[in-house]
Amino acid sequence: MESGGLKPMDAEQLRENAHKMVDFIADYYKSIENFPVLSQVQPGYLHNLIPDSAPHHPESLQNVLDDIQEKILPGVTHWQSPNYFAYYPSNSSVAGFLGEMLSAGLNIVGFSWITSPAATELEMIVLDWLAKLLKLPEDFLSSGQGGGVIQGTASEAVLVVLLAARDNALKRVGKNSLEKLVVYASDQTHSALQKACQIGGIHPQNFRVLKTDSSTNYSLSPDSLAEAISRDLTIGLIPFFLCATVGTTSSTAVDPLLALGNIAKSNGMWFHVDAAYAGSACICPEYRQYIDGVEEADSFNMNAHKWFLTNFDCSALWVKDRNTLIQSLSTNPEFLKNKASQANMVVDYKDWQIPLGRRFRSLKLWMVLRLYGLENLQGYIRNHIQLAKHFEGLVAQDLRFEVVTPRIFSLVCFRLLPPHNDEDHGNKLNHKLLDDINSTGKIFISHTVLSGKYILRFAVGAPLTEWRHVNAAWEVMQDKASALLARLSVE
Ligand code: PLP
């Protein structure tokens, strides 16, 4: 590119270069199966491949693309590979990509309504659409006291509602009572809640992590919640926040929302539901039952960027009472004052989130909903769940393995059975098996620990995954298990 008289946004140059970039990305998707799914580079690998300082003179796009091919892609773990089965998925799609492209293209910063009315208004409309697909209670719609907002992540979502709940509780019990406020969750709740408590100034000893076990399939027992609350009340503490999960990170456990919500309500607590992964499935009537009881919740969150074809990031959060959130997070400096905001005629999303600036993320979700439609989206979810069910069947047929927790959505938790019932040995064996599997680069799976058992997680949900990939993945796992067990029997 020319150095003199820089034209950083020339329409024709954009057209030409963006076409090249789209070609590059389309070719990437065509050849994605050729890469090792889990990047096989060593820490610091890039240091010697990239110059120590930025260039003085412009370089060509082709040179940069060559570097991406040779130096960057080897250091990429391919989340969009059909052979990616780790953690939870983080979906990309043509529709999501187009929305992302448009958002980058317009590059607005929509913190107040006035800074781009369409960004605020489309976000409200699209989140109302999604709330209706999920059959969320009407209180969550923007037509009443509530409404939806797109956060970057589920972690930000739980943080903002925790802050709102904290301030609301302090208003009730007195602002000097912060150290008495207690948060409740299960030992399966995502660590995002712990981080929110740390940021929110909740006393570390007032974070109740209630134990779960296989007797409830790792869901939170209402009795154990009620007991913990009653103990805390007896010693003068103030229960104020409960986080339940639908589809826990380790094993997709589903907390009983109705029973938990009733307990939270009768104790004047804020009830947050984290359905970051499994929320997407609830657009299908047959899975909607898993969020029955959401009527009792004050806030509900699902990550459209996980399993809903919306490119990262897009975490949808709904609250029943937007004013609580706004009272906690609103600021009103002179330089942001404007007629529409002052007259209270508009939503200013800056007051629903941590940062000021925000992207036009609703474009992505809007594209996904419009270009695919509900029926296709339901089919997409159902297909992944069928694939996971198929995988579960394959595991069950191999007597060397066991399925550890019942599969509900598209995650299968399984392990090699410990030889001679020696759990310690079993844990080491499964850890080794995981490393052996992932170092092939053919597939990528992850692990968790439940009741002291080291467990392998097979999460179906990448947009390109088909039956053949699941079958091939199982072959890799069986081969590696056979090799590992054969080595053991020789030792
Ligand atoms: N909650 C659940 C149930 C999750 O599974 C995850 C991530 O996998 C999170 C929260 C955190 O997600 P985020 O990265 O959007 O903060």
Single-letter code of the amino acid located at 441: G
Q: Averaged over 38-64, what is the pLDDT? A: 97
Residue 360: pLDDT over 60? yes
**pLDDT confidence of residue 43:** 97
Q: Which of 32, 39, 27, 23 is nearest to 464 (CA)?
A: 32
| Contact predicate 238/169, CB 8 Å | yes
CA of 66 to the centre of ligand 1 (A): 34
SS3 414: strand
Is the Cβ atom of 153 under 6 angstroms away from ligand 1?
yes
Give whole-number Cα distances, 440 to 19, 73, 411, 466, 473, in Å. 34, 17, 21, 20, 11
How many residues comprise the chain?
Answer: 491
CA of 429 to the centre of ligand 1 (A): 28
Q: What is the DSSP letter of 229?
A: H
β-pair type (238-245, 181-186): parallel
Confidence grade of residue 250 (pLDDT, cut at 50, 70, 90): very high
CA of 243 to the centre of ligand 1 (A): 13
Residue 471: pLDDT over 60? yes
Quick one: which atom of ligand 1 is closest to the CA of 87?
8
**pLDDT confidence of residue 489:** 80
- Measured CA to CA, the distance from residue 157 to residue 149 in angstroms comes to 9
For 398-435, b/e burial (b = at least 16 CB within 10 A) is: eeebbebbebbbbbbbbbbebeeeeeeebbebbebbbe
Is the Cβ atom of 245 under 6 angstroms away from ligand 1?
yes
SS3 355: coil
Is the Cβ atom of 276 under 6 angstroms away from ligand 1?
yes
Is the Cβ atom of 407 under 6 angstroms away from ligand 1?
no
| Contact predicate 167/327, CB 8 Å | yes
Is the Cβ atom of 405 under 6 angstroms away from ligand 1?
no
Residue 457: pLDDT over 60? yes
**pLDDT confidence of residue 4:** 62
Quick one: which atom of ligand 1 is closest to the CA of 245?
3
**pLDDT tens across 148-193, in order?**
999 999 999 999 999 999 999 999 999 999 999 999 999 999 999 9
Mutation test of ligand 1: which of 161, 277, 307 has the most ligand atoms closer than 8 Å to its C-beta? 277
Quick one: which atom of ligand 1 is closest to the CA of 313?
15
> Which residues lie below 8 Å from residue 215, measured CB to CB, with a gap of 6+?
none
CA of 249 to the centre of ligand 1 (A): 7
Is the Cβ atom of 444 under 6 angstroms away from ligand 1?
no
**pLDDT confidence of residue 432:** 98
Quick one: which atom of ligand 1 is closest to the CA of 152?
15
Residue nearest atom 2 of ligand 1, based on CA coordinates: 276
Residue nearest atom 11 of ligand 1, based on CA coordinates: 154
Quick one: which atom of ligand 1 is closest to the CA of 249?
5
Token pair of 447, please? 């692990």
Q: Averaged over 315-333, what is the pLDDT? A: 97
Is the Cβ atom of 315 under 6 angstroms away from ligand 1?
yes
**pLDDT tens across 181-224, in order?**
999 999 999 999 999 999 999 999 999 999 999 999 999 999 99
Residue 120: pLDDT over 60? yes
CA of 192 to the centre of ligand 1 (A): 7
Q: Averaged over 312-317, what is the pLDDT? A: 98
Is the Cβ atom of 270 under 6 angstroms away from ligand 1?
no
| Contact predicate 279/134, CB 8 Å | yes
Question: Which residue is listed with tokens 């509780």?
Answer: 169
- Measured CA to CA, the distance from residue 35 to residue 2 in angstroms comes to 35
Single-letter code of the amino acid located at 483: A
φ, ψ at 8 (rounded to 5°): -70, -20
Residue 2: pLDDT over 70? no
CA of 235 to the centre of ligand 1 (A): 33
**pLDDT confidence of residue 488:** 85
- Measured CA to CA, the distance from residue 197 to residue 166 in angstroms comes to 10
Token pair of 426, please? 């079993």
SS3 299: strand
Q: What share of the chain is helix, strand, coil (3-state, %, to 5)?
A: 50, 15, 35
> Which residues lie below 8 Å from residue 366, measured CB to CB, with a gap of 6+?
99, 122, 126
Output the average pLDDT for the chain. 97
Residue 330: pLDDT over 80? yes
Q: Averaged over 242-263, what is the pLDDT? A: 98
> Which residues lie below 8 Å from residue 161, measured CB to CB, with a gap of 6+?
270, 272, 298, 299, 317, 319, 325
Give whole-number Cα distances, 39 to 81, 250, 444, in Å. 12, 23, 10
**pLDDT tens across 253-270, in order?**
999 999 999 999 999 999
| Contact predicate 221/253, CB 8 Å | no
Is the Cβ atom of 249 under 6 angstroms away from ligand 1?
yes
Q: What pTM did the predictor assign? A: 0.97
**pLDDT confidence of residue 5:** 86
Is the Cβ atom of 192 under 6 angstroms away from ligand 1?
yes
Residue 388: pLDDT over 70? yes
CA of 339 to the centre of ligand 1 (A): 38
Token pair of 375, please? 């029926």
Q: Averaged over 414-422, what is the pLDDT? A: 95
Mutation test of ligand 1: which of 88, 90, 190, 299 has the most ligand atoms closer than 8 Å to its C-beta? 190
CA of 199 to the centre of ligand 1 (A): 17
**pLDDT confidence of residue 490:** 76
CA of 154 to the centre of ligand 1 (A): 5
Is the Cβ atom of 303 under 6 angstroms away from ligand 1?
yes
Q: What is the DSSP letter of 177?
A: G
- Measured CA to CA, the distance from residue 152 to residue 304 in angstroms comes to 10
